[in-house]
A and B are shown apart, each in its own frame.
Chain A
Amino acid sequence: MSLWKKLLILGLVLLLLPVAAALAATAAVYSTGTIHLDVDVEDGRFSIPLPAGLLPVAVRFAPRDVCREIDQVEPQWDAMLTAAAAFQEIPDAVLVEVQSREDHVTISKRADRLVVDVMSGSDHVGVSVPSGIVYAVTRSLERTCS
C-alpha cells in the first residue's frame, strides 16, 4: 500500500473517530429515554425531547443553595429512594388531580412515565419523564446533598 493511501486511511479514521464518539455518547445519553416538554400557549407551540440521562448528571452540579433548601425539610432519603423505586412498579393511574375553574393539573403514571399536565385556560404545558429517571435523580440528589 502506498504512503498516500495509508495517509488517506489514517485521515479518514481520525475524521470518523470523533463522529463515532459523538454518536456513541448520544446513544448512551438517550438510552435512558427522553424527557418530553410540550408547550402549547397563545404565543406558540413547541415540543422538545431532551435526553433523560443528562438530568441525574446535571443534578450533581446542583448549587449548594438547592441542597440547603432540601436540607431544611430534613429529607428522609431512605424513604424517598424507596418511594422512587416503588413508583416504577405501580400501575398506570392519575395520582393527583386538581380541577378549578381556570386550571386543571394532573400528575400521572402513564406507560412507565411520570407525566405532569397543566392546563390553564387554553394554555397547556406537559412534562413527561421516564419513571426510572425519578429514582436516578433522587439518588443523585442524595449523593450531592447528604
Chain B
Amino acid sequence: MRRKLTIGALVMALAMPLALAGGSGLWLHVKVDDGDETVRVNVPLSLVESILPAIHVDEMQGGKLRIDAFDDADLEGVDLPQLWQAVRDLDDAEFVTIDGRHENVRVYKEGDFLRMDVEEHGDEHVAVRVPMEVVDALFSGEPGELDLLAALNALGRYTTEDLVHIQDGRSVVRIWVDARNTID
C-alpha cells in the first residue's frame, strides 16, 4: 500500500509540470492498465494552463510552487538553481547510482534529458525522462520556488515519447504529451 502511495505521489509530482506543457493544442495523456481495467485520461493543456494561476493553496501560489516552505525540505544553504546549473554543464554521465538490496536507482543525463530509472527487485520499473529545458524553466523563477507555468511552455516541445513509464507487474502507467485528443 505504501509503495503504491509512493508511486502515486511520484506520478502526481511528475504529472504536474507535464500537465503544464504549453497550451497550444497539446493534450496530457495518462493511461493506466492493470490487465483487468484500463483508465484513460485526456486533458487539454490549455485547461490546466488556465486553472493553475487560479490555485492559491499553501505552497502553490499562482503557478509557482515554493519548495523552501515544505516542512520536511531542509534546503537551507543549498542553492538548487546553481546545483542544477552545475549538473547541466556536465557531459552525459550517471550522477547517482544506488544498488540496494530491494532496488536499483540510476539518475543520469542523456542528451537533452535528465533521466531516472528505478528498478525494484521484483518486477517494478519506473522510468522518468525530463527535458533539461523544462528543468531550466522550473528554476527560472525566484530562489526557493519552481515556476510551473514556465515549465509548461518548455515541455510543449517534447511530444515524441513517454515522459513517465511505470511497469509494476501487470500494471502499466504511461504519461505523455502530444497534439492528439485521443489515446491509441
Which A residues are within 8 Å of any B CB, using their own CB? 74, 76, 78-79, 81-83, 85-87, 89-101
Closest to B38 in A: A99
Which stretch in B13-21, B44-52, B66-74, B112-120 binds the other chain? B44-52
A92 cross-chain contacts in B, Cβ below 8 A: 181
Judge whether B85 is part of the interface by a CB distance below 8 angstroms.
no
Interface of A is mostly: mixed
Query: Chain B contacts of A98 at CB under 8 A?
Result: 37-40
A-B contact pairs, 20 of them (CB 8 A): A76-B55, A76-B57, A78-B55, A81-B54, A82-B54, A83-B47, A83-B51, A86-B47, A86-B50, A91-B44, A93-B42, A93-B182, A95-B42, A96-B39, A97-B39, A97-B41, A98-B40, A99-B37, A99-B38, A100-B37
B40 x A94 contact (CB < 8 A): yes
Q: Find out whether the CB atom of B41 lies under 8 angstroms from the CB atom of A86.
A: no
Among residues of A, the one whose C-beta sits closest to the C-beta of B181 is: A93
Distance (Å) between the CB of B158 and the closest chain A CB? 21
A74 (CB) vs chain B CBs: closest residue:
B57
User: By the criterion CB–CB under 8 Å, are A97 and B40 in contact?
Assistant: yes
Query: Which B residues are CB-close (under 8 A) to A83?
Result: 47, 50-51
Asked whether, in the complex, the Cβ of B51 is within 8 Å of the Cβ of A90, the reply is no
* Assembly CA distance A81 to B47 (angstroms): 12
Query: Which residues of B does A touch, CB under 8 Å?
Result: 27, 36-44, 46-47, 50-51, 54-57, 181-183
Q: Which residues of A contact B47 (CB under 8 A)?
A: 83, 86-87, 90
Q: Which residues from A are CB-within-8-Å of B36?
A: 100-101
Residues of B within 8 A of A79 (CB): 51, 54-55
The answer to whether A90 touches B44, judged by C-beta atoms less than 8 angstroms apart, is yes
Taken together as a complex, chains A and B put the C-alpha atoms of A93 and B54 apart, in Å, by 24
Check A96–B41 contact: CB distance below 8 A. yes
Contact B42–A94 (Cβ < 8 Å): yes
Q: A83-B50, A90-B46 are in contact. List 19 more A-B contacts (CB 8 A).
A: A76-B55, A76-B57, A78-B54, A79-B51, A82-B50, A83-B47, A86-B47, A90-B44, A90-B47, A95-B41, A96-B41, A96-B42, A97-B38, A98-B38, A99-B37, A99-B39, A99-B40, A100-B36, A101-B37
Q: Are B42 and A82 in contact (CB under 8 A)?
A: no
Whether A76 touches B182, Cβ cut-off 8 Å, given contacts A83-B51, A100-B37, is: no
Task: Give the Cβ gap from A98 to chain B, nearest Cβ, in Å.
Answer: 5
**Which B-chain residue is minimally distant from A96 (CB atoms)?**
B41
- Which residue of chain B lies nearest to A85 when distances are taken between CB atoms in the complex? B50
How far is A86 from B51 in the complex, measured between Cα atoms in Å? 8
CA–CA, A53 and B22, complex, Å? 35
Which residues on the A side are within 8 Å of B41 (C-beta)?
95-97
Beta-carbon contact of A96 and B181 below 8 Å: no
A12, chain B: closest CB distance, angstroms: 54
Q: Which of B27, B40, B183 has the most CB of A within 10 A?
A: B40
B27: min CB distance to chain A, Å: 8
Given A93-B181, A99-B38, are A86 and B46 also a contact pair (CB < 8 Å)? yes
In the bound complex, CA of A101 to CA of B66 (Å)? 43
